[in-house]
Amino acid sequence: MSQLDNPLEVYKLLPKSNCKLCGVATCLAFAAAVIKGEKRLQECLHLESKIIEELDKRIIRQPTPEEQLKKILEPLQREFATVDFASSVKRLGATLSGDKLTIKCLGKDFTVDSEGNIISDCHINEWVMVPLLNYIIHSAGNDLSGKWIPFRELSKETVWGSYFEYRVEKPLKQLTDTHPDLIEDMIGIFGGKQVENSFSSDISLVLHPLPKVPMLLCYTKPEEDIESKLNIFFDSSAEENLRIDSIYRLCVGLLVMFQKITSRHMKP
């Protein structure tokens, strides 16, 4: 019995009706979501249970991004044995609480022990955990330059720039368009600070995801014939204090938090 490991092979077995009853726009998109582990075959109402049972045995699902991050966490936590907390306080902009390190992340205290376990009153997800541990282990602790630059200028690894635009900036812009009070949440909940408008924006807001990795969020409100605009800028020293992949992941983690906040606003 052959295995199914790409969307087109799954798509061939679907009804191809694009009925959208599964919650996805097309059968091909549904097939891709099944391979990624984001959807289950049972969500296609046109497939018989016997066929679903047979296909399930053949499908090789890709690990989700969250599952991949969990695998990254394990070696990072092992590296913590090499970190001297006492000598890292100044480098990280952190404080030492007994034998634990406490770091401000978005205005909240995140406490980390010598085994890399993280405790916080704030919701913790893998998108934030991996960058936080990377920051503690690898940050150079360099002072901020005061110069704001877009994400794409932080690194020569251009692939991350495309990811950032489509996975962070665009969905955050859509979220802010739909929920204008999200800006107030960023200020009140995450310790954001509104600053003098920069880059011709209507609102400029500085957030500190990590002490030495600030970000500047610039939002221009939509007008009658002009679409809104949202861009995120970083201090030019950012990649010295946090690797580019972790900056990307940290921002995805923030987006996930913002999405959770807005979903609570929508509940009756």
pLDDT tens sequence across 42-68: 889 898 888 888 888 888 776 777 777
The residue type found at 146 is: G
Count the helix, strand and coil residues of the chain and give each as a percent rounded to the nearest 5.
45, 20, 35
The residue type found at 38 is: E
Range 213-226 average pLDDT: 93
Q: In whole angstroms, give the CA distance from residue 33 to residue 37.
A: 6
Weakest mean pLDDT among 78-87, 151-160, 207-216: 151-160
Mean pLDDT of the chain: 88
Q: What is the pLDDT of residue 265?
A: 58
The two three-digit tokens of residue 107, written as one number = 């205005």
Q: Where are the domains of the chain?
A: 7-58, 65-138, 148-266
Confidence of residue 162 (pLDDT cuts 50, 70, 90): confident
Residue 4 has pLDDT above 80, yes or no: no
pTM across the whole model: 0.76
* CATH code that applies to domain 7-58: 1.10.15.40
**Could you give the C-alpha distances from 245 to 59, 184, 209, 257, in angstroms and in order?**
30, 28, 15, 19
The fraction of the chain above a pLDDT of 90, given in percent, is 46
Residue, of 55 and 150, whose pLDDT is higher: 150
- DSSP bridge partners of 97: 100
What is the DSSP-derived secondary structure letter of residue 169?
I
